[in-house]
Amino acid sequence: MGRILLHQTNDCENAMNTTLRKRAEAILSRSPDENSALPTRDVQELVHELQIYQAELEIQNEELRRAQQELVGARDRYKELYQSVPVGCLTLDSNRMIRDANAASTAMLGTGSQDLAGQRLDKFVSEEDGDPFYLLMRRAAETGNRQRRDIRFRWDEGCPFWADLEVVPTLCPKTEAFFLITLSDITARKQAEGQFRTLNAELDHRVKVRTDELATTNRELESFCYSVSHDLRAPLRSIDAFSKDLLEFHGPQVDDSGQDLIHRIRSNCERMTLLTEGLLQLSLLARVQINLWPVDLTAIAQSAAADLRRTEPTRAVDVRITPGLTAAGDPVLLRTALSNLLENAWKFTGKRPDAVIEFGQTENYPSSIFGSPCPSGGTRSPVYFVRDNGAGFDMRYADKLFTPFQRLHTTAEFPGSGIGLATVQRVINRHGGRIGFESSPGQGATFYFTVGTNA
């Protein structure tokens, strides 16, 4: 509607101006006698209309002058802003010839603005990035979309630099400017990235060297443990056999003090045999090949509990095993780990008349062990537990728990080799799982473990 009224107003003005001009031309074309014969009223009206028209022209001229001043001011402000921005700005024609450049771009390219105008921007691109720059400009021209890429530039004099280059095609054939270019100097960032990559490479190399050294040390240590535990068994068997023969054949000739010493020798031989067997088993865990199969953990726990009951048939222990628990792992190694955990719980509940041992699966475990529980729909491996209400232990000394031969209770209180939990940890680690625990003295202990790389 506004457009219609505007057109109508313009048509009326044009018609009035045309009529005015025709009347003025008609008057000027008459002879002086004819003009003198014009009615006074017509002359006055004509003069009045001319005066109005003159006033309108003066108003239009004033508005034009004011608009021109505003345009000049806007141009000056734009030019000042264009020259003061810290980012390099250039305008190129369709041949990638520089038509205009601000102060930042001339400083980056190491030349004056007058020297920069009329040169191709390609001249300042490094040889390594000549092809990427050409493809970038071609893609911008063909698609009409802005393009962006990190490009290396070089000065005529000075060091090369990296720039974040953005191309905006104008696609306006009536103007000389065909591309609008912005350049941001990112040399410092590229240098930092290069240093970061160098440091990462050095770190990777160091880690590889240390890992290789550690693997070699572990192999040597495992070989040493295997040799020691294997080679000690024969002398121990001999000492035990000789002491047994001494008691059997020469016992009457030895007084009570001597027989007590012989019994101590045999007892220590038995304990050392137990330790060497445990050490041998622990060293073999690093050598054995893991075979992954579906494993019925419930069946393993039930079998282990039955074996423990046969060793002490008179004990009343409430063993609670959750049915249907399975995992993917090595059946032999998982049997070893679970049997050790249940045997550990059986041993440390030996002084409880109301002993309770549980094996199950849970999601309610302390966040300090494995972190927060896996959210719904996650893929974290199930968390299994073995819980007892036995002697427990002080968590201040828990760092010794998985160390071979380290014990939190004396042998007189609870016999054992101190290898069982170290064996359990080794098995769980070989399966890519994790193991943790919580306990307090006299309140029992709970061992949590996972099996699998998603633990």
Q: In this predicted structure, which of 23-27, 54-58, 284-288 has the lowest mean pLDDT?
A: 23-27
Percent of the chain whose pLDDT exceeds 70: 75
**Amino acid letter, 391:** A
Q: In this structure, are 427 and 315 located in the same domain?
A: yes
User: Who has greater pLDDT, 172 or 46?
Assistant: 46
Residue 118 φ/ψ region, left for φ over 0, alpha for ψ in the -120 to 50 degree band, beta for the rest:
left
**Final residue before a domain boundary, out of 81, 106, 137:** 81
Q: In this predicted structure, which of 173-182, 271-280, 359-368 has the lowest mean pLDDT?
A: 271-280
Per-residue pLDDT at 414 exceeds 50: no
Q: What is the pLDDT of residue 319?
A: 92
Per-residue pLDDT at 28 exceeds 70: no
Q: In this structure, are 76 and 97 located in the same domain?
A: no
User: Who has greater pLDDT, 286 or 257?
Assistant: 257
Q: What is the pLDDT of residue 7?
A: 45
96-115 pLDDT per residue, tens: 888 888 888 888 887 655 57
pLDDT tier for residue 132 given thresholds of 50, 70 and 90: very high
How far apart, in Å, do the first and last CA atoms of the chain sit?
71
Q: In this structure, are 215 and 296 located in the same domain?
A: no
Q: Report how many domains make up the chain.
A: 4
Q: In this structure, are 316 and 280 located in the same domain?
A: no
| SS3 at position 122 | helix
- Cα 103 to Cα 83, 100, 110, 185: the distances in Å are 5, 10, 10, 14
Q: What is the pLDDT of residue 215?
A: 78
* Four-residue CA torsion sign, 407, 411, 412, 415: positive
Q: In this predicted structure, which of 8-17, 180-189, 200-209 has the lowest mean pLDDT?
A: 8-17
The boundaries of the domain holding residue 204 are 197-287
**432 touches 452 (CB < 8 A):** yes
Sequence-distant (≥ 6) Cβ neighbours of residue 286 within 8 angstroms: 218, 222, 426
Q: How is residue 85 written in tokens?
A: 């921005």
Question: Is the pTM here over 0.75, yes or no?
Answer: no
pLDDT tier for residue 380 given thresholds of 50, 70 and 90: low
Q: In this structure, are 166 and 242 located in the same domain?
A: no
51-101 pLDDT per residue, tens: 777 777 777 888 888 888 888 888 777 777 778 788 888 888 888 888 888
Which DSSP string do the residues of 220-284 spell out, in sequence order? Answer: HHHHHHHHHHHHHHHHHHHHHHHHHHHHHHHGGGS-HHHHHHHHHHHHHHHHHHHHHHHHHHHHH
Q: In this structure, are 378 and 273 located in the same domain?
A: no
Q: In this predicted structure, which of 36-50, 66-80, 243-257, 386-400 has the lowest mean pLDDT?
A: 36-50
Around 442, how many Cα atoms within 13 Å sit in the side-chain half-sphere?
0
Spatial CA neighbour of 288 closest among 123, 440, 92, 426: 426
